[in-house]
Structure 1
Amino acid sequence: MTNGSLLYCVNFCYPTEPGEPSLWLPKNLFLTSEKTYTRKFKEVVTALRIESKYSKDEILELYLNQIYFGEGVWGIQNAAQMYFGKDIEGVTLEEAALLAALPKAPTTYSPFNNIELAKERRDLILGLLYESGTIDEEEYSQAMATDILLRTRELVETNEAYPSYVDHVIDEAINILGLGEDLVLIGGIHIYTTLDPVVQNAIELTYVNDTLFPESSNDEQIQSAAIVIESSSGAIRGLIGHRGQYYYRGYNRATELVRQPGSAIKPLAVYGPALDNGYNKKSVLIDEKTDFNGYVPSNYDRVYHGKVSLYQALIHSYNIPAVALLNEIGIDKGIAFLKSVGIPIHKDDHNLSLALGGMTEGVSPLEMAQAYSSFPNGGIMNTAYTIRKITKNNGDLLVDGIIESVKVMTPESAYAMTEILMGVIEEGTGKAATLGRPAAGKTGTTQLPAIDAFKDLLGTRDAWFIGYTPELVTAVWVGYDTLDPKLIMQSVGGSHPAGIFQSIMLLSLENMPKTSFEKPKGYKEDKEDITSEKKKKMPDTSKNKKKK
């Protein structure tokens, strides 16, 4: 195809209104996107100056080298590499027509997102080329019959700083403004975020230290994700959604992952609502093999301990007491608490296996960190966010960050939970997460599926640690992307995830003074052992939500 045909193709690509390339260039290079008579006058004057110095082909070339083509690339040369893996001089007629289709709505017409719609737009431009006489019937027919052949998307890497965080900011802006990705990126707006470079760099440094992660198979790298939230506000201070190379607008495991949380759900589904309904850390629970109407759970190590305190049951992550306690307080209370902290619940999750993280779908690190943030924040959960404000180019405010809060439990119950979860790190399953300062957290591990393909295989599928200090909440997930008998991870929540948490938090808080969790004024130390049997004879405190 000739260079003239390429230029003709691209004449159909301008995203908003028809006009000469000399008008497009000043608008995109030198001026703001405001819609005023002053700006329009400046645009015309600048266009006349450009036309006096450059030919139309030169002007169009300048324009094509700086407009947005989707998938994080600007400029037609980068677009040709992105979509076809070749330089622009080597594109075919049909490929040029596809490139011409993109700037009108890069996200909408991206062949990676919707190849049928991309082909429809490409064919429209080919038809215009044919009708104008730029291409003959043979060229038109051949191009129309050619399928779209794309470069493998996974080869398109990004070297931008903090790509996982930036991708989530883009997603959040899209949701807030109701605009497409292309308009968010080229719409002339400024986005101010909650990112803390100290925290983000702590995460980045941790994730290049391979010794902190389980050994991977030769076929696939074990993946991981982490997110750090400021509990007092919900501000996301840093996150990472990958190990290894990241791809623009790739799979962000920190926010998009959906996996079962294992025992990390216990404080949310069982012990949180129990504490808020009269139980305390000295309440006596039963840890023995039990049949709950056909559901027969077991402890991780198949060892049972008889009568145990609520504190012991949680810090050592015994399974039977958690299931028994959810059975006592009622599944509806557990479900209600999970919903209040933003954990998505499927209709099929209304069963006792929920106490052990047995969910139909699952959760993301973002959702777990957000939910746990209610514990150090006096029982109040703030919705996690990255965008503080959005302004126009001229500084006019478009969006001002609003903190959305919900009270999920009493301050006394939240503090009681923190005391117990401090025990997880001090003497329970999370010892590897110790920070040398007040910290609390919970481990979580999910087992391999009970199907023939995994029979007699030893290992785990997912490992979690969610922990916090008075300042920050961090959620860490580790696991394989692929469920495969050849990809078996040897890790639990109290090993590698706890170590990753420790690394991130030590680096993040290195220059911060040590602080203690704030004890509510009305908090009273538990003085009485309350057995489950006595509890059955007590008034139903779940109805009035008074603390015992």
Structure 2
Amino acid sequence: MDVITPKRIRITIKTVRAIIFISVLLLIFFSTILFSILLFAKTQGAPSLTVSQSTILYASDGSKIGETHNGQRRYWVKLEDISDEVLQATLAIEDRNFYEHHGFDYKRIAGAALADLKAMAKVQGASTITQQYARNLFLEHEKTWKRKALEALYTIRLEMNYSKDDILEGYLNTIYYGHGVYGIEAASNYYFGKTSSELTLAEASLLTGIPKGPTIYSPFVHEERAKKRQEVILNTMLSEKYITKEQLQEAVVTKLIYKTKKEAVQTGIAPYFHDTVMKILANQLKMDEHEITTKGLRIYTTLDPDMQKKAENIMESTIEKESDIQAGIVAIHPQTGEVKALVGGRDYEKSQFNRVTQAKRQPGSTMKPLLYYAALTKGFTPSTEMRSEPTSFTYNDGKSTYKPSNFNDYYANDLITLLQAIALSDNIYAVKTHLFLGMEELLKTSKLFGVESKLDLVPSLALGTSPVRLLDMVNAYGILGNGGKKIEPTFITKVEDASGNVLYEHSLEPKQILEQENAFVATHLMTGMFDKRLNDYASVTGQSIAGSLTRDYAGKSGTTSTDSWMIGLTPQLVTGVWTGYDKDKTIDLVQEKAYAKKIWATFMEKALEDQPVKAFRPPNDVVGVYINPETGKLATEDCPVRRLTYYVAGTEPTHYCTVHLDDGEHDEKQPNKDVKSDDGWMNKLFKWWD
């Protein structure tokens, strides 16, 4: 039997004291370290929860038309907008003690350590939702001690500064679900085509299993493995009393309906429109690329999906597939400038070049309405007459000459009215008007209409020889058709950030930039291209499509050797179509020359088929009278053609046509000497000048 001596007692007491002392020192040391860590975490403040999110584009009806995500689809959704089944499945499989711990689950850590020791390998994880969130937000996934230390620090900072609900919401919005999809909302949309609030138990449990191994448990890659993982999650939910056995069995046998892979990765509609919106955000709204593609912006646009689809289908069905000819279509609301449809080419995948917004082409005779508006403001009226005959014009102080020709060399070889000139697209009348006004006048007027392209001061400018953009010309026609109020092509109505804060909102301030009365008269003159009653030495330029139109339109076509244009409008819609080759190839085939008019007529009829028929309403200071289009005078019962024509009040004709009197004594276009001539000083000047 050992005898406990006083010496041994003293040694034991000293040892116990030393252990206690060292323990206290270690406790103080580790407490100091822990306190320092907590103090440091507190002084660092709340870590930013900002993550890159997909920017979404919406059409005018609220439907989604596209998104930008740089290969990573991300949307942020609030916790209350996520289905309970997702929340329960996530907590059950990822962190069942989430609401009890403070960032670290020590019991789970100990259990995982024992399991790893027994297996002599890493077989069980112990990361909490907070730890995973910290890793997803701030860290790479390499396995180093430095990363582990930073993960712990960020975990503490998250727990100290955010509520549990905030952390869970952030985790569910940042976890990776495979195929470039981040967050439960993007995953729900990608796999099932619905929002996360609409997910069923079967769908939620399957999605919750994907983050453990996105390349292993994606149903698009290994559906069988995904289903097995789903069963594990459902059984865990049962053990945690989130669901009943009956709910489990029902979820297991439920046949899930996925979006097909093609549906899941399809690009948005209207790609040319989408590109234009992106350029406007960067160039006009001054948003940088990082902000556009990662900040979860909500871009509300003017696009009408129904009109867009019709424009695409009509272009595709009208132009023969084997033809290399290109085309562009744009439709705008003339009262607001809102772009309702835009097709920049026949195949976006082959060419992203936008023939509506980027290409500058010769507009041909579509320039004439701008010229004739200017002429109306300078004293012209629909009855103003000039001779249509082969003419050689001298300009540049007599140093240069220009000899235009009419289509197929058809001329009246007589006086024609402005009403006839625009309907028949008489080039001689246009150049005479251009030179009579002074070539600077059309340049000034074009800028007033918003045409910014550089225009050459030459006689042929009246015939559209200076290249312009289709979008600008369609907008100009919109200004003319709305009575002269300024509009600009508008693609975006509003931009919001991910939290719903409005960053930009379009506002239209009505500003009268044209003379309203003359704008209306010019617009009504443009209805003549579809009126066969105006056929004379040539047919009206819209004759080929007039029979397919069911309402009144104002419009003008334009043709050069390389370009074919048609722009026309109603009070509800103005549409322009261009067809031609990208590389200065001439349009030689008859059917190719007809494409622009045919596409325009078909689109306008389809786009407006559900809208009421509306006519352009004359303003108060405009009067309408029936005239003989050949003479520009008031029509009588003897005139073979009578057409309602509008004039600015005070400029309308006051004398009757005498050409078709029954006595036959008067030659055509020779007024009766007994009737006072109604030639004003302007008409006398034009006839003298001719």
Q: Name the TM-score, length of structure 1 as normaliser.
A: 0.65
What is the distance in 2 between the residues matched to 1:278 and 1:466? Answer: 26
Q: Is structure 2 residue 376 aligned with structure 1 residue 275? A: yes
What's the secondary structure of 1:266's corresponding residue? helix
Find the partner of 1:244 among 344, 347, 355: 347
User: How much does 1:530 deviate?
Assistant: 5.6
Find the partner of 2:571 among 463, 467, 470: 470
1:178 match? 286
1:341 match? 449
Equivalent residues in 2 for 1:521-536, closer than 5 Å: 521-525=620-624, 526-527=652-653, 534-535=684-685
Q: Contact 1:230–1:471 (CA<8 Å) still a contact in 2?
A: yes
Q: Contact 2:52–2:296 (CA<8 Å) still a contact in 1?
A: no
Q: Which moved more, 1:294-303 or 1:317-326?
A: 294-303
Question: Residue by residue, what CA displacement relative to the aligned partner does 1:421-449 show, whole Å, maximum 9, x if unpaired?
Answer: 111122320134442112110010012xx
User: How much does 1:532 deviate?
Assistant: 6.1
Q: Is structure 2 residue 153 aligned with structure 1 residue 48? A: no
2:225 match? none
2:397 match? none
What is the distance in 1 between the residues matched to 2:276 and 2:422? Answer: 33
Question: Residue by residue, what CA displacement relative to the aligned partner does 1:479-521 show, whole Å, maximum 9, x if unpaired?
Answer: 1112247x7454576x321111111111111111111111111
Q: Contact 1:282–1:530 (CA<8 Å) still a contact in 2?
A: no
Give aligned-pair identity as a percent.
Answer: 30
Q: Contact 1:158–1:246 (CA<8 Å) still a contact in 2?
A: no
Equivalent residues in 2 for 1:248-327, closer than 5 Å: 250-268=352-370, 270-293=371-394, 294-305=401-412, 306-327=414-435
Shift in alpha-carbon separation, 1:323–1:333, aligned structure 2, 3 A: same
What is the distance in 2 between the residues matched to 1:426 and 1:537? Answer: 27
Question: Residue by residue, what CA displacement relative to the aligned partner does 1:166-210 show, whole Å, maximum 9, x if unpaired?
Answer: 11111222223212344312222111111112221221221221x
What is the distance in 2 between the residues matched to 1:30 and 1:500? Answer: 39
Q: Contact 1:216–1:489 (CA<8 Å) still a contact in 2?
A: no
Structure 2 counterpart of 1:429, one-letter code: T
Shift in alpha-carbon separation, 1:47–1:280, aligned structure 2, 3 A: farther
User: How much does 1:524 deviate?
Assistant: 2.2
Gaps of 5+ in 2: 1-46, 54-73, 78-102, 104-127, 148-173, 183-264, 395-400, 533-539, 625-651, 654-677
User: How much does 1:417 deviate?
Assistant: 1.2
What is the distance in 1 between the residues matched to 2:52 and 2:280? Answer: 27
1:120 match? none
What is the distance in 1 between the residues matched to 2:531 and 2:290? Answer: 49
User: How much does 1:534 deviate?
Assistant: 1.5
Find the partner of 2:531 among 412, 423, 426: 426
What's the secondary structure of 1:380's corresponding residue? coil
Equivalenced residues, count: 396
2:463 match? 356
Question: Residue by residue, what CA displacement relative to the aligned partner does 1:329-388 show, whole Å, maximum 9, x if unpaired?
Answer: 1111111110011112426x11111000111xx112211110000222012231111100
Q: Contact 2:52–2:295 (CA<8 Å) still a contact in 1?
A: no
What is the distance in 1 between the residues matched to 2:386 and 2:142? Answer: 80
Larger radius of gyration between Structure 1 and Structure 2:
2
What is the distance in 1 between the residues matched to 2:524 and 2:477? Answer: 14
What's the secondary structure of 1:498's corresponding residue? helix
Equivalent residues in 2 for 1:11-410, closer than 5 Å: 29=74, 48-50=131-133, 56-57=141-142, 66=180, 159-209=267-317, 212-213=318-319, 217=323, 221-246=324-349, 250-268=352-370, 270-293=371-394, 294-305=401-412, 306-346=414-454, 349-359=456-466, 362-403=467-508, 406-410=511-515
What's the secondary structure of 1:466's corresponding residue? strand
Shift in alpha-carbon separation, 1:307–1:55, aligned structure 2, 3 A: closer
Q: Is structure 2 residue 555 aligned with structure 1 residue 441? A: yes
Shift in alpha-carbon separation, 1:63–1:297, aligned structure 2, 3 A: same
User: How much does 1:529 deviate?
Assistant: 5.6
User: How much does 1:476 deviate?
Assistant: 0.2
Structure 1 counterpart of 2:601, one-letter code: Q
What's the secondary structure of 1:208's corresponding residue? helix
What's the secondary structure of 1:516's corresponding residue? coil
Gaps of 5+ in 1: 1-21, 33-41, 69-156, 448-460, 539-548
User: How much does 1:281 deviate?
Assistant: 0.9
Q: Contact 1:188–1:392 (CA<8 Å) still a contact in 2?
A: yes
Q: Contact 1:411–1:520 (CA<8 Å) still a contact in 2?
A: yes
What is the distance in 1 between the residues matched to 2:679 and 2:340? Answer: 41
User: How much does 1:290 deviate?
Assistant: 1.7
Q: CA RMSD in A?
A: 3.5
Structure 1 counterpart of 2:315, one-letter code: Y
User: How much does 1:67 deviate?
Assistant: 9.0
